[in-house]
């Protein structure tokens, strides 16, 4: 990995993802990522100015169910395992001062 201009810091990415990789995997991942970037760059060269966006791959209309309440939640059952409840709401520790 001597080419600084096209270098991808795989170890930095692995650290961000909290994964450990060995040197062989690092080289393979860098090669794979460069191939993906090259493919995307090639796709970006295609002129799509006369192409309409595709809303759905299906020509048929979607059959959606009506947006209606179908059941009432049982608050007591849902909050049974909570460590603390106040006024019917879950209580959580303060994280912002």
Burial class (CB in 10 A: 0-12, 13-18, 19+), 10: buried
Tens digits of per-residue pLDDT, 81-93?
A: 999 999 989 999 8
Distance between CA 53 and CA 34 in Å, rounded?
A: 28
pLDDT beyond 70 at 71: yes
Question: Domain residues of the chain, as ranges?
Answer: 10-44
Q: Tens digits of per-residue pLDDT, 5-41?
A: 556 788 888 889 999 989 899 889 989 999 999 999 9
Query: Model-level pTM?
Result: 0.46
């Amino acid at each position: 990995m001597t080419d600084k201009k096209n270098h991808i810091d795989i170890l930095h990415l692995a650290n961000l993802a909290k994964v450990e990789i060995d040197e062989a995997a690092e080289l393979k991942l860098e090669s794979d990522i460069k191939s993906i970037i090259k493919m995307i760059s090639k796709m970006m060269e295609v002129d799509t100015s006369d192409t309409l966006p595709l809303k759905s791959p299906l020509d048929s209309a979607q059959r959606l169910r009506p947006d209606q309440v179908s059941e009432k939640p049982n608050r007591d059952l849902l909050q049974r395992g909570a460590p603390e409840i106040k006024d019917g709401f879950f209580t959580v520790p303060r994280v912002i001062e």
